[in-house]
Chains A and B, each alone.
Chain A
Amino acid sequence: MKRFAQLYEALDATTRVLPKVAALKAYFEDAPERDRLWTVALLSGRRPKRTVNATFLREWAARAAGIPLWLFEESYPIVGDLAETIQLVLPDPSRTADLTLSGWIDRIRALAALPEAERRADVLDAWDTLGGTERFLFNKLITGQLRVGVSQKLMSRALAQATGIEEAEIAHRLMGRWAPDDVTWDALILTPDPSADLSRPYPFYLAYQLDDPPEGLGDPAAWRAEHKWDGIRGQLVRRGGEHHLWSRGEELITDRFPEMAATRDFVPDGTVIDGEVLAWDHEAGAPLPFARLQTRIGRKTVPKKLLQEAPAVLRAYDVLEWQGRDVRARPFDERRAILEGLMEGVPKDAPLDLSRLLAFEGWDDLAAIRAGSRALGAEGVMLKRGDSPYRDGRRKGDWWKWKVDPLTVDAVMIYAQQGHGRRAGLFTDFTFAVWNGDELTPFAKAYSGLTDEEFRRITAWVRRNTLERYGPVRAVRPHHVFEIGFEGIQASPRHKSGVALRFPRMLRWRHDKPIAEANTLGDLKEMLAAYG
């Protein structure tokens, strides 16, 4: 575990790419094989399941630290992380142990089968054996929460450097279903058998947001455009008589969308399609609001009623494999021709639909189309070079997403709360209100969008302008107006305002606006009517 803790600290200590890759490369060169496999698994989100309930952990840790539970509970939100809070409150370990990462993972997985008393004894024993970062990582592993600040892309790069295999090839080898217990380093990384996993998806190509005007992209004729649909990015894999649906988070979601089984009738074996899973209005031939799709997300089994209320389709963007061959290197226009040919035979009520290309003359033309996206249920437009290959990961250059500007309201800050973890000590979590007659009605919380300097200033202001405290929350004097941006709005009977926003964040601190000029609940209701 020491070697892994050392790697974790090195990755955690910097935001720069080069030192991260160097630390990973060194690790992949000298760590024991099973530890390497587990590290790749952990860094690609293949975490062992939680083996101990968090409530138990809090009680055990408080008792072991000799503090009352309430004091532990007060400390936890300030530290912002359960594993770290436990790490810090416990006394120093009295012993040491020389167990590897995979050894600890085996021990942790064995906990699940133990009766509670023994499980507790084993966890206390581990806490008394591990100090510092190792104890923190142990806590992350037993709670199934370990996250490391390394993208798949960086990990692939480090593996490529450590093994001499091409980065894109590594990325593909790591996709799909595998577990450290069932594979060897050789079979996973060095010489994998391509037919070993018929469900294996390709790495998704992700686009960056286009922040500058599209004129900078050059000749519009070199570019293709389509709407950016607001659903779950997905990949449909048809091989060996089966179908598999993967989400962008590399989660297998086949069972959550049983209607996709019908695609077997039109999509031949040896095909992989990239698209967007949307809740779909088959009559109108248009997407349903994202809120409908939300009713499907997270449900492992789907009741019939829901299948009717929120039927899903995959809106196809691209084809990555055709007739059993990887076609990602071929130009977009060629892949698009294959896709359109394939879609010709697909009936209108099928769970598969083509994302149409948008005809546009010049950039102004496209800007107008983009501006009308929201009314069609789209988030904006995608721009793809006609000659671009399908790359892996998030890359600049060939593909761009050009989202519509967010919806905005000017709102008054009424509550403030200190941030956690990264932002402990600063007031960063705010509740915003709009006018409802002469009352301020809260409608959204936001905690991002300001610079560190602005957070510092607002923190100093909050300290001096607190009207009342409710636990960690402070009611502040209504004085500051912020422009709040959000991606969508829906009705919500659970909220006092009657609306819920998607991705609210602070766009600007409106020093120029007095609170009397903030928006009203009526304004929000109008937006709800237009876009809800």
Chain B
Amino acid sequence: MADVLRFTERGIHCPAGDFFIDPWRPVDRALVTHGHADHAHDGMGRYLATEAALPVMRHRLGPEAVLEGIAYGERRRIGGATVSFHPAGHVPGSAQIRVEVGGEVWVASGDYKTAPDGLSEPFEPVRCHAFITESTFGLPVFKWRPFEEENAAIDAWWRAAAADGRPAVVGAYALGKAQRILASVDASIGPILTHGAVENTNAVMRAQGIRLPDTIRVTPETRIKDHPGALVVATPSAMGGPWMRRFPQAATAFASGWMAMRGVRRRRAADKGFVMSDHADWPGLNEAVAATGATRVFVTHGYTSIFARWLREQGYDARPVETEYEGETLDSPDPGTAEDAA
């Protein structure tokens, strides 16, 4: 049987439907798993994504982009292929894309996490013959605590900083992680300030009905003295730069899966690291693969060759594939920040 999906230099291609999934070079028709910049590139003829992902994509790709929405679980025929989108649990609106051609089913999962985060539509396993999985945290050293525990740790840290008379500045992706923190913190501790890039995403999400606490956008006029006991939600890139100068004496923290590693925590020179990721940990990746019932597995962005080798030893026909997806990186520009908001 011919492959339902192929890995090309433009992205993941479906010959039967002549469309691409998360392409990184211009193509006519793009099916997009979610709005992060490494998955939703601009320059495509038209886009198909979940209804819940559309507002952020519109915000990022501009008014000219041709966007079409689809509900989770809705089946649609494209050429010789039938496609449907299923929750990936990564960020609000994120999806795994199921593609069926002549009874053969492949699933491209984009970015996903299996554990709930209190904000995104929970991950749903999709049965398939071949599964395309990420491997951002595809090593047995990555194991996340339940999100409630990490949320409680953030509240405790914020409370301690507030009691100390210092602002608490946490660095988190502008799309997804930041809102996850906002939705979970105990907003009665103090006021919440946000970096412009975070606030832009907040506005988009509020407009689509996602409930977030009240926030105050940080502008050049913002004086931290006017907001005692504040939590400041910033982008990781802003935390290293001059933007931080307005918060001297701040308690600082990063929220990322990489914070599981002591070396990374130290390099970021933040006082604290919260291990919080929008990607699956090692047990999550393994559970997800098993739950698909797939025999073939393609491993993209992350520890691709290691995770593929491990899967082969578990009896899968697995191999790594090169893509231009980036996973959760602290070192390149924030994938949630399309524009550099002040």
Contacts and interface: CB of A to CB of B under 8 A. Distances in A.
Whether chains A and B associate is yes
Given A422-B267, A425-B258, A425-B330, A78 B139 contact: yes
A68 B141 contact: no
Given A80-B263, A81-B263, A84-B262, A68 B331 contact: no
A75 B264 contact: no
B236 to A, nearest CB: 12
B267 A74 contact: no
Categorize the interface residue count of chain B.
20 to 34
A459 B326 CA distance: 12
A423 B263 contact: yes
Given A75-B140, A79-B141, A460-B332, A424 B269 contact: no
Contacts of A15: 269
Nearest to B142: A88
A411 interface: no
Interface in B261-281: 261-264, 266-267, 269, 271-272
A282 interface: no
A71 B263 contact: no
B313 interface: yes
A456 interface: yes
Contacts of A85: 141
Contacts of B269: 15
B329 interface: yes
Nearest to A85: B141
A72 B258 CA distance: 18
Contacts of B271: 13-14
Contacts of A232: none
A12 interface: yes
A79 B140 contact: no
B127 interface: no
Given A68-B313, A79-B141, A459 B264 contact: no
Contacts of B141: 75, 78-79, 85, 88-89
Contacts of A459: 331-332
A34 interface: no
B332 to A, nearest CB: 6
Contact of A424 (B140, B240, B264): B264
B263 A67 contact: no
Contacts of A79: 141, 261, 263
Nearest to A74: B306
Contact of B264 (A12, A13, A88, A425): A425
A455 B142 CA distance: 24
A456 B139 contact: no
A452 B269 CA distance: 12
A171 to B, nearest CB: 27
B260 interface: yes
Given A71-B310, A425-B330, A89 B263 contact: no
Contacts of B260: 88
Interface in B309-333: 309-310, 313, 329-332
A420 B306 CA distance: 17
A71 B308 CA distance: 11
Contacts of A65: 140
A520 B30 CA distance: 50
B58 interface: no
A450 to B, nearest CB: 13
A422 B139 contact: no
Contacts of B309: 70
Contacts of B330: 425
Interface in A419-433: 420-426
Given A68-B313, A74-B306, A89-B140, A424 B261 contact: yes
A25 to B, nearest CB: 18
A88 B263 CA distance: 13
Given A78-B141, A84-B262, A456-B332, 19 more contacts: A67-B140, A68-B313, A71-B139, A78-B139, A80-B261, A88-B141, A88-B143, A88-B260, A89-B140, A136-B262, A421-B266, A422-B263, A422-B267, A423-B263, A423-B267, A424-B263, A424-B264, A425-B329, A452-B267
Interface of B: 139-143, 240, 258, 260-264, 266-267, 269, 271-272, 303, 306, 309-310, 313, 329-332
Q: Which 4 A-B pairs have the closest CB atoms?
A: A421-B263, A88-B141, A422-B263, A422-B267
